[in-house]
Amino acid sequence: MRIVKICGKLSNPPPSGRREGGRSLRRDDKDIKSMNRYEYRELKNFCYQYPWWHKQLEELNENLGVSASSYDDVPTAKSMDSAVERKALRMVQLNEKINMVELAAQSVSKDLAFYILEYCTNPGMSFARLDALYGVPCSEATFYRHRTDFFRALRDIRNDYKTHSCSRFGRQNWNRKRESWNKGRSK
């Protein structure tokens, strides 16, 4: 056993998997082993934006329409792109982000996709609360295993998306890649 010197006194270190004070680490606080903790946190925070993306998309859909300034014949020196084009591009970006998260959840487990999305997109959600609200149809260990697979799938999808630069012009290649990736995951 290793002895640690704290404030001039010798003491035993806390047991592995425990914090000072004897409190156990919560299972969902542990980083996923196959990726470093910063990558995991990035994916977790990416997922936390999911409800906000839906809200933004709904607001953009409500505000679609032609503005009065587009009928004005007075030339302006602002830019060559229009407000409608900017809205359309923003809607495409939001849809792509939403689809990435949903595709990762669906590729892991179609039965648990809803529960994985609820858990991973709501900060502070615990398995006990999720089970109390919706009645998760599997054990906690199984759920956490699927959650781990979800983050791995999301990492792969985001990496594929970034390498194929699909945001504007590579959409057809992205769709082909996504279809082949789904076929490989379903085996």
Residues 6+ apart with CB under 8 A from 91: 57, 60, 61
Task: Copy the structure tokens of residue 14.
Answer: 């806390």
Task: Give the three-class secondary structure for 92.
Answer: helix
Q: What integer pLDDT is reported at residue 179 of this predicted model? A: 59
- The pTM (predicted TM-score) of the whole model is 0.64
Q: Which amino acid is at 84?
A: V
Query: What percentage of the chain carries pLDDT values higher than 70?
Result: 59
Q: What integer pLDDT is reported at residue 22 of this predicted model? A: 43
pLDDT(32) > 70: no
Task: Give the three-class secondary structure for 4.
Answer: strand
Burial 104-119 (b: 16+ CB within 10 A, else e): bbbbbbeebbebbbbb
Please state, in angstroms and rounded to a whole number, the distance separating the CA atoms of residues 78 and 165.
28
pLDDT in tens, 109-122: 999 999 999 999 99
Task: Give the three-class secondary structure for 135.
Answer: coil
Annotated domain spans of the chain: 38-63+82-185
pLDDT in tens, 36-68: 889 899 999 999 999 999 999 999 888 766 554
pLDDT in tens, 151-171: 999 999 998 887 775 554 445
pLDDT band at 187 (very low <50, low <70, confident <90, very high): very low
